[in-house]
């Protein structure tokens, strides 16, 4: 069964380091895309606030939140999932390594708070909310759909994962912030603040080695400058 990729909303960096921007120039948000295959509608990185995301789904596809079967997160940072609450009936999926790393970070922060004399109720509530998100997310299988494979791209976060999608004339990698913008792609750069710089650089190289086209983490779907679609 064929798979179709559509862009629901283009993302943006709050501050673009390769444009010499400083401070937060704009609200940062991730590119949101969708895979369409039979009765499966898999939304990837629901980053916009709920009302905006609901509107984009209607504008781009003429569907509502209840028609989404699955939500896949390339990573678990809150900015990447602002609108996820719209999809209470969908399966929520993330890479297992990312889920485990995020859970460990929450547990560590809760342990640190327990050692403090004055607990911050707001911090406690936030950690509980984040724990509920983690508990709700299932570990994405290695094969999400027939031919659509989980593609680990660690570095920006400990367990960032993309999706490798074979189309009839090209292989597409939905790569999250492993390759964030066209400027990063053209200049061979990763984001400046990452969990592991060496891993992030290796994941960047793997992304451009394997895919003819890339759905960038904060940009559009673009041709890989070192490959031509349809050619080995």
Q: pLDDT tens digits, residue range 212-228?
A: 999 999 999 999 988 75
Q: pLDDT tens digits, residue range 27-73?
A: 999 999 999 999 999 999 999 999 999 999 999 999 999 999 999 99
d(CA 207, CA 141): 20
Indicate if the pLDDT at residue 138 is higher than 80.
yes
The domain 4-14+26-223: what is its CATH number?
3.60.15.10
Q: What integer pLDDT is reported at residue 75 of this predicted model?
A: 97
Q: What integer pLDDT is reported at residue 124 of this predicted model?
A: 79
Indicate if the pLDDT at residue 195 is higher than 60.
yes
Percentage of the chain surpassing pLDDT 90?
A: 76
Using CB atoms within 10 Å of the CB of residue 84, give its burial: 0 to 12 exposed, 13 to 18 middle, 19+ buried. Answer: buried
Phi, psi angles (nearest 5°) of residue 158: -60, -30
Q: pLDDT tens digits, residue range 83-101?
A: 999 999 999 999 999 999 9
Element (DSSP H or E) covering residue 107: helix 96-114
Q: What integer pLDDT is reported at residue 231 of this predicted model?
A: 45
Residue 185: closest CA among 162, 163, 165, 211: 211
d(CA 62, CA 144): 24
Query: How confident is the model over 187-215, as a mean pLDDT?
Result: 96
Domain boundaries, the chain: 4-14+26-223
What does the block give as tokens for 101? Answer: 């790393």
- Count the residues in the chain: 232
């Amino acid at each position: 069964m064929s798979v179709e990729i559509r862009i629901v909303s283009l993302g943006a960096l709050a501050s673009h380091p390769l444009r010499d921007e400083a401070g937060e120039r704009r609200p940062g948000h991730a590119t949101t895309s969708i895979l369409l295959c039979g009765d499966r509608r898999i939304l990837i990185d629901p980053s916009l606030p709920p009302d905006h995301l609901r509107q984009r789904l209607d504008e781009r596809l003429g569907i509502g939140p209840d028609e989404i079967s699955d939500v896949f997160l390339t990573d678990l940072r809150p900015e990447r999932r602002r609108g996820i609450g719209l999809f209470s009936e969908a399966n929520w999926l993330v890479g297992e390594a990312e889920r485990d790393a995020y859970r460990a970070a929450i547990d560590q922060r809760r342990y640190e708070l327990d050692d403090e004399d004055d607990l911050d109720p707001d911090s406690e509530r936030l950690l509980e909310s984040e724990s509920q998100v983690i508990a709700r997310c299932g570990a994405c299988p290695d094969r999400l759909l027939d031919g659509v494979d989980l593609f680990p791209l660690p570095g920006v976060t400990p367990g960032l994962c993309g999706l490798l999608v074979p189309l009839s004339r090209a292989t597409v990698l939905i790569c999250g912030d492993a390759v964030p913008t066209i400027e990063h792609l053209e200049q061979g750069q990763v984001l400046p603040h990452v969990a592991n710089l060496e891993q992030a650089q290796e994941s960047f190289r793997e992304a451009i080695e394997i895919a003819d086209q890339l759905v960038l983490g904060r940009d559009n779907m673009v041709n890989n400058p070192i490959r031509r679609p349809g050619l080995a």
